[in-house]
Amino acid sequence: MNQKLISIALFGAITCPVFAVAQTNTLDEIVVTATRMPQSLSKTIADTTVLNEQEIRKTGATDVPTLLRSLPGVEVAQSGGLGATSGIYLRGTESKQVLVLLDGTRINSATTGATALEHIMLDSIERIEVVRGNVSSLYGSEAIGGVVQLFTKRGQGASAFNASAGAGSHGTRRLGAGFSGDVNDTSFSVNVVNVKTDGVSALNPQMAPKANPNKNGYDNNSLSAQVQHALGADHSLSASLFSTRGNVSIDNAFGVRTSLYNVLGNIDKLSLALEDQFSAVWHSQVRLARGTDDSRYYTNAVQTSRYQTQNNQFVWQNNFNIAEGQQINLAVERLGQRVSSSVLFNQNVRNVNSLLGGYVGEYGAHQLQLNLRQDRYSDFGTANTGLLGYRIAFAGSWRATASVSNAFKAPTFNDMYWPLAFGYQGNPNLKPERSQNKEIGLHYAANNQRLDAVYFDNKISELIALNAAFTTVTNISQARINGQELSYSGDFGANHLKASATLQNPRNAVTGAVLARRAKEFGSVAVSHDFGVWNMGAEVRYSGARQDGVNTLHGYELLNLTARYQIDQHLNLSARVDNLFNRNYSEVYGYNTLGRTLFVGLSYQQ
């Protein structure tokens, strides 16, 4: 099945531009994550995928992990159903090596290093930009595999109300509402949503006899709000708030079979930004933000532990248009991380001071990108990173790209400051993980067609891993991840096609063992067709076999269906079926997946 699917993806990607009909080019979308400066998507050197609000809505997905599963280079491993812990693997790197930003704000845990994407519902998100490859020279720690940036909804146009409701398998139901628009010099947006599900038993009782076989449900309440006021033609002040609170029932493989376990997970973001266009050359943004990750664990309704991270950030960024087609970015940042928990860490505060500079210049058919960054940590010292990228345009709509870069990931508080307990203790002498990445790419973008073919080679050293005695962690391991990534998207009148295939070799560079929960090949093919007021779509998603410890997770192929009916200019009815043939597969050893599911939703837009 893997060879067949990848062949379909390759055939569709290679032949579709040849047979494309002439249409207006709509691929000149502006992105910011790839360079931290506004840039046309068709000119980015970094391999970048963008999902706008319309595309997100068409998928019928409820949460961020479901949406990310079908993107090029992205794998997701979820420990159960909706709301369960979700690990994201970008180009073979793990969750701790992928930076997730919410409107530019860090919301990750400083104890685990990962971001709880499972608690972010899509009702509040209007745009997602995914940049694959090392970009520490732009964003600092965690960006070894790339960056996933989520943008919350903003107000524009006449004031309007929206609402949505839906229900589906396993007692899943969703209710949401919002109000947005602009009045005179002020724009605003407010959105709220509640998502509940009865779920399924997360752990397979046959593999974990001590786990409670009850259903593991989930309850999420989310709020996002934004207001922006224009202080004249060239200045504006904005404030934004995001809060999501998820209560997920979990299983414990080593607990008491009759006990009930659950986790309350909160992600909060608060930011204040001042933007100034001082001249035609100079644009400045000053942003103060706080991103919080808070997890509380309960057994039979009694709290047993708590871990909270506060990421307090100050950013002053300046973009300069020094000439036609040439931009410079200069910024200073300060990040203060504070951990509060039921565990008394040996240290609970870390400060990071950062300087960065970037240049993007076009010289006819050529483009050059240069980024340099220095991060000074209060605990382990300094990390310097850089990126050099090159693009050449040819034959009208084709371009070739190449880049070399390095990146790092700071040790977590768990790694460095975990107190002595049960013979294990953190290691305060750890060094950051380091990465060197090289990639070359061939790209096509025109007439509503986009093709990206990239070869990447990522070497990661100083990997943090348990020592032989399991008493602490040290910088003892190395990894190498290289491979090819191919993606295509195109429109042919009422027909729409997306295809992607990733062939990679994520391995321990010392032992040769495949890295846990990562497949050597995976991909998807999605087609949809507009029938007047109807849109019908189908997606085939494939993943090869993966290793999880000493256990092998078998490969699988899934068929998902979507349908959307526009009742009138305000009302839309949608339906999504996942895993139509009810395939039995697992993303994490011992944990169940949902099987076949159906969700039907109704949305109203004033």
Residue 217 · residue 197 · CB < 8 Å: yes
Check residue 167 and report its DSSP letter.
Answer: E
Classify 11 as helix, strand or coil.
Answer: helix
Average pLDDT over residues 110-131: 96
Whether residue 167 has pLDDT greater than 80: yes
Cα–Cα distance measured from residue 464 to residue 411, given in angstroms and rounded to the nearest whole number: 8
pLDDT band at 27 (very low <50, low <70, confident <90, very high): low
Sign of the C-alpha dihedral computed for residues 75, 67, 174 and 594 taken in this order: negative
Say which CATH number the domain at 597 has.
Answer: 2.40.170.20
Return the half-sphere exposure (C-beta side, CA atoms, 13 A cut-off) of residue 353: 3
What is the per-residue pLDDT across 9-24, written as a single tens digit (0 to 9) for each? Answer: 444 444 343 333 333 3
Counted domains in the chain = 1
Asked if 161 contacts 398 with a C-beta cutoff of 8 angstroms, the reply is: no
Q: What is the pLDDT, as a whole number, of residue 20?
A: 34
Query: DSSP character for 42?
Result: G
Is it the case that residue 219 has pLDDT exceeding 60?
Answer: yes
For residue 244, give the amino acid letter. Answer: T
pLDDT per position as a tens digit, 259-298: 999 999 999 999 999 999 999 999 999 999 999 999 999 9
Which pTM value belongs to this model?
A: 0.94
- Parent domain of 416: 2-605
The reported pLDDT for the residue numbered 444 is 96
β-partners of residue 176 are: 164, 193
For Cα atoms 81, 520, 597, give the angle at the middle one, nearest 5 degrees.
25
SS3 104: coil
For 95-117, write each residue's pLDDT tens digit: 999 999 999 999 999 999 999 99
Give 48-84 pLDDT, tens digit per residue.
Answer: 999 999 999 989 899 999 999 999 999 999 999 999 9
